[in-house]
Amino acid sequence: MIALKLAFRNLFGAGLRTWLNVSVLSFAFVVIVLYNGILDGWNKQAYNDTQEWAVGNGQLWHSAYDPYDPYCLQDAHATISDKLSTLIKAKQITPVLITQAAIFPQGRLQNILLKGIDPDQNIVKIPSAALKTSDSTITAVIGKRTAMSARLKKGDNILMRWRDKNGTFDAKEILIIDIFSANVPSIDNGQIWISLANLQKMTGMTNEATLFITSKQYSGADIENWKFKGLSFLMKDIDEVMKSKKGSSTIIYGLLLAIALLAIFDTQVLSVFKRQKEIGTYIALGMTRRSVINIFTIEGSAHSILAIILGSIYGIPLLAFLQTHGLPMPKNMDSYGLSIADKIIPVYSMGLIMSTILLVVISSTIVSYFPTRKISKMKPTDALKGKIQ
């Protein structure tokens, strides 16, 4: 307790030097929390949006299906068995049929993926209910990115060409009945969604599908030639991006923290050099060298405590403001092919805050300790005379 009182008394007595060190360290503390909060918020938003719009609670893939190989689509489909039909009726899965096609907006050729989905499904947020029609018109829904690249708007009729399962080309006009806005490019870029029944009829793939999107009620097991892909597999791309971002962020706030810790280190070296008579007095009065070292170490580590307090004073309002209003993202972020909203809402977990506090406190304590080891080699008589060892 005596060492703690002396340490804080000496710390406040240093005046401006102390508060400069505390200010730099508090800035590093707030930036670490903010940057990691943004990444965690982006990660959470990407997970939620991808799950709600694209993958549900997992997917059942045909054994030949590969989303990165468009040439597999000619063979990546199979008949929907009675067991799968039962699961569809129970709303545990919904089928999706995928084939290649081309559209001709304003006379231009544009290759797309044509996807058929059940208009009655409610597992993903794609507005499939708009695909219900009572006449022979083929209606379609597209995402805002496809609408922008093809220069289409709601109510447009567009010529579309496709091949059936025998390789025969056919063409017909389709009606763009709705344009949806989603943060998930994987169900938008270069894709057109129509009724599953229409696509099965157009391609001759009666009662067939390429994959099934599952709900939370599905058990997650393989079925015959259909391989279940869980969220850990389907979200792998997002996880890899987050890992790379976390790695790069370590460099950023590591540099900030290093600058602050270097200032504390220099302060401790200077203190030991200038306060040798004080150190000698402590030892002459009967204080052990270990106790004196503790005083100087506590002085250095106390910078982190003051930094956390100062950082909380201006950091809490700033972080709360960003969590309420979000951090706007540039419009061209869509071109990266990642699930990114118009603004990211940071997420500050208790684990993030506590780990950052421990990082700042422990690192500042370690940095403060090394310069004070010189005290253990000082002789009280020389220290009282102000002689440098």
Identify the bridge partners of residue 194 per DSSP, sorted by sequence position: 116, 140
Q: What percent of the chain has pLDDT over 70?
A: 86
What confidence category does residue 382 fall into, taking pLDDT thresholds of 50, 70 and 90?
low
Domain-ending residue, one of 202, 229, 256? 229
Looking at the 3D structure of the chain, how many domains does it have?
2
Domain-ending residue, one of 195, 229, 263? 229
Condensed to tens digits (0 to 9), the pLDDT of residues 143-160 reads 998 999 899 999 999 999
Per-residue confidence (pLDDT) for residue 111, from 0 to 100: 94
Answer whether residue 80 shows pLDDT above 90: yes
Using an 8 Å Cβ cutoff, are 303 and 257 in contact? Answer: no
Candidates 138, 305, 118; CA nearest to 196 is: 118
Output the DSSP codes for 20-87.
HHHHHHHHHHHHHHHHHHHHHHHHHHHHHHHIIIIIBT-EEEETT--TT-GGGGGT--EE--HHHHHH
SS3 content of the chain, % helix, strand, coil (to 5): 55, 20, 25
- Asked if residue 323 and residue 252 are part of one domain, the reply reads yes
- Asked if residue 69 and residue 48 are part of one domain, the reply reads no
What confidence category does residue 76 fall into, taking pLDDT thresholds of 50, 70 and 90?
very high
- Asked if residue 242 and residue 219 are part of one domain, the reply reads no
Condensed to tens digits (0 to 9), the pLDDT of residues 333-348 reads 655 556 667 788 899 9
Per-residue confidence (pLDDT) for residue 4, from 0 to 100: 66
- Asked if residue 125 and residue 89 are part of one domain, the reply reads yes
What confidence category does residue 373 fall into, taking pLDDT thresholds of 50, 70 and 90?
low
- Asked if residue 163 and residue 115 are part of one domain, the reply reads yes
Question: Tokens 């706007």 correspond to what residue?
Answer: 328
Tell me which amino acid residue 262 is: L
Determine the Cα–Cα distance for residues 25 and 302; give it in Å rounded to an integer. Answer: 11
What confidence category does residue 205 fall into, taking pLDDT thresholds of 50, 70 and 90?
very high
- Asked if residue 274 and residue 243 are part of one domain, the reply reads yes
- Asked if residue 149 and residue 125 are part of one domain, the reply reads yes
Provide mean pLDDT across the span 226-247. 87
Provide mean pLDDT across the span 232-253. 83
- Asked if residue 142 and residue 206 are part of one domain, the reply reads yes
Condensed to tens digits (0 to 9), the pLDDT of residues 169-197 reads 999 999 999 999 988 888 998 999 999 99
- Asked if residue 205 and residue 245 are part of one domain, the reply reads no
| Domain assignment of residue 159, given as a range | 58-229
Condensed to tens digits (0 to 9), the pLDDT of residues 93-105 reads 999 999 999 999 9
Candidates 199, 130, 188, 197; CA nearest to 160 is: 199
Candidates 207, 250, 255, 238; CA nearest to 84 is: 207
Answer whether residue 14 shows pLDDT above 70: no
- Asked if residue 266 and residue 327 are part of one domain, the reply reads yes
Candidates 66, 124, 67; CA nearest to 94 is: 124
Determine the Cα–Cα distance for residues 353 and 345; give it in Å rounded to an integer. Answer: 16
Domain-ending residue, one of 194, 229, 264? 229
Helices (H) and strands (E) in the chain, counts: 11, 13
* 173 membership: H or E segment, kind and range: strand 169-180
Is residue 346 classed as helix, strand or coil in its secondary structure? coil
Mean residue pLDDT of the chain comes to 85
- Asked if residue 157 and residue 69 are part of one domain, the reply reads yes
- Asked if residue 348 and residue 222 are part of one domain, the reply reads no
